[in-house]
Chains A and B, each alone.
Chain A
Amino acid sequence: MTPLLRVRDLHATFVDDDGTTRAVDGVSFDLAEGEALGIVGESGAGKSVLALSLLRLIEPPGRIAPGSVVEYRGTDLLRLPEAELRRVRGAEIGMVFQDPGASLNPVLRVGEQIAETLRAHRSIRARDARRRSVELLDLVGVPDPERRAGAYPHELSGGLQQRAAIAMALSCDPKLLIADEPTTALDVTVQAQILELLLDLRERLGTALLLISHDLGVVARLAPRIAVMYGGQIVEQAAAADLFERPRHPYTAALLGAAPRWDRTAGRLAAIPGAVPPATRWPTGCRFRPRCAQAWDRCEQHPPLLDAGAGHDVRCWLAAPERGTP
């Protein structure tokens, strides 16, 4: 069956005086209809550039390298004329960002913006669009949606703004929702509300979800399958339970060890030495090699994404068959 989204060998680069930044450097994955995939990584991993690249939203000097493929239901979005791509964005694929201010227009009432999005993609009468916008605000749990539809974004709290942004992203019944750090700017009790809302909407609407986050807890709650990014690449990909219980990539294991948890005590945290290298100068060979406690000779060669069985892929020579399980 054709996946909903098929990404192959996606490269996004930025060229400036400092050289070429290979922000996304050969990312491939599939997302089935109705599936949720979490992409997790630290700053500089390339996850936000990946989200923008999928819809060709990166601005010059950023560019997507020829040979990259982003197929939505069999159509390559990277080769689609701009006018047709615009019909996909917002209608077929909705987007939610960290800062709801990025999606909401500050000088338009919230209800008007949702109605406007609807009318841009659907032949719908103004009055029906307005009524639908109130229904959508109700769907995403905005209390008193009738009144809130008449509010300007700044009159709403951060949590309500994010709900409104989600309502707008969902207005045209998209098949896919791309959410880039949707709860990072919110307080923790508000974050819990938005995570519950996203879970609930997926159950009710069956929308596929591509969730991008730096927070292991957030992806664990929302995504049954998770890809870990480091150095512009996916370094490990597996079912969530498998990834958290049996991380195969030393970076994933180190990341889990470095994160303190409120629900258990730890002695000293297992910090990862050093920092993420700049994307202008990825180390040769394995990109995690300079920080990896298990690096060996072979790591001077760049490892491919190896099949470790049971839908578990790992970009590490330790997972190579001749090496056996570490």
Chain B
Amino acid sequence: MSERPLVSADRASKSFRAARGLTAREGIFHAVRDVSLDIERGETLGLVGESGSGKTTLGRLVLGLLRPTSGTVRFDGSDLAALDRRSLRALRRRMQIVFQDSAGSLDPRIRVGRAVGEPLEVHRLAAGSGIEDRVRGLFAEVGLDAALMAKYPHELSGGQRQRVGLARALALEPEFVVLDEPVSALDVSVQAQVLNLLADLRERYGLTYLFIAHDLAVVRHLATRVAVMYGGTIVEHGMGEQLFAHPRHPYTASLLASVPVPDPRAPRPAVVLPPERSDAPTAGCPFAPRCPHPTKDARCRREAPVLRQLAPRSWAACHYAHDG
């Protein structure tokens, strides 16, 4: 692709000083290690992983909400860490985030209509009745009745609040939206409504999504490309269809096999991973202690595998993943 990616992480790492008690000993917690990743315009990159995999931290890094400890994150070519406050603010208009529970990001004392209009006020993009007209339009875009503009967050259902969160994110007409577990708190019937809406909005506005989720079914549904995280690193990425049908990294395969499908005749999982160990390895492959791959050997414990290309648009960080 000749066009430069909208978002580009180059060997980005983020570590935190872990407080005593959290990990039983004081030390440095490496939330994201050496991640390189491009997000092309118009694509939806699904970022999957279990708790502690680093997916939420990576989401914060690409929005410039966290500064990488090392490496760089660029948005449309600009290094986020090198920008002054003003330029960063201008850039932030073009990227937005939607959280798992919009109730947490909406002020309980502010009517949701005003909350949606607030970014327009802050960035002086509209004033007076112009704001209200725009908010009315945004409510329609996300399938909310305009009468709900006068409600407080607690008066709405979970699905309605998630739509408000989306309307607020769309107010500044962003190009890039990070969706951090946007449907995890919703019931299946409402989740389907919001997923359909996300697909519609993507099409209507040509949005680029980074879709962070632990639910693989939801990711398969919305993502065009998928990256799998484990222990702060990306262990595999590839086109959605291909990755779900032919996972190349043993962790991806185990993760997929773990998901129970709504079919009583589905076979029991061939592999159930052993419990995660609290003492993550400091050298070698982060997945080695739990890895079910038959070829696992001393090399896995010694030498950290790097992402290598195994097929067109398919990459995995495993010494023994097959090519082709």
Contacts and interface: CB of A to CB of B under 8 A. Distances in A.
B interface residue count range (under 10 / 10 to 19 / 20 to 34 / 35 or more): 35 or more
Given A157-B278, A160-B275, A192-B273, A244 B214 contact: no
A15 interface: no
Interface string A26-52: 000000000000000011000000000
Interface in A63-101: none
A269 B196 contact: yes
Contact of A266 (B157, B190, B221, B260): B221
A36 to B, nearest CB: 11
Nearest to A242: B264
A268 B264 contact: no
B192 A272 contact: yes
Given A190-B276, A244-B264, A272-B192, A260 B214 contact: no
B256 A262 contact: yes
Contact of B266 (A193, A220, A273, A275): A220
Interface string B197-219: 00100000000000000101111
Contacts, number: 137
Nearest to B195: A269
Interface string A174-201: 0000000000000111111101100100
Interface stretch (A114-122, A209-217, A317-325): A209-217
Given A260-B221, A265-B220, A215 B269 contact: no
Nearest to A239: B264
Interface string A259-285: 111110110111111011000000000
A256 interface: yes
Most buried by A among B217, B218, B219, B274: B217
Given A259-B217, A262-B259, A193 B187 contact: no
A43 B278 CA distance: 33
Nearest to B194: A271
B258 A188 contact: yes
A194 B217 CA distance: 20
Given A196-B268, A262-B220, A275 B190 contact: yes
Given A189-B50, A189-B255, A262 B264 contact: no
Contacts of B273: 189, 192-193
Contacts of A224: 264
A196 B269 contact: yes
A241 interface: yes
A262 B216 contact: yes
A244 B225 CA distance: 30
Leading 10 A-B pairs by shortest Cβ distance: A217-B260, A192-B258, A216-B262, A271-B192, A272-B189, A187-B50, A42-B187, A258-B192, A269-B192, A240-B264
12 contacts: A189-B254, A191-B260, A192-B258, A196-B268, A217-B261, A220-B266, A255-B188, A258-B192, A259-B192, A262-B216, A262-B217, A291-B189
Given A157-B276, A271-B189, 6 more contacts: A190-B275, A193-B273, A216-B188, A220-B260, A244-B263, A275-B159
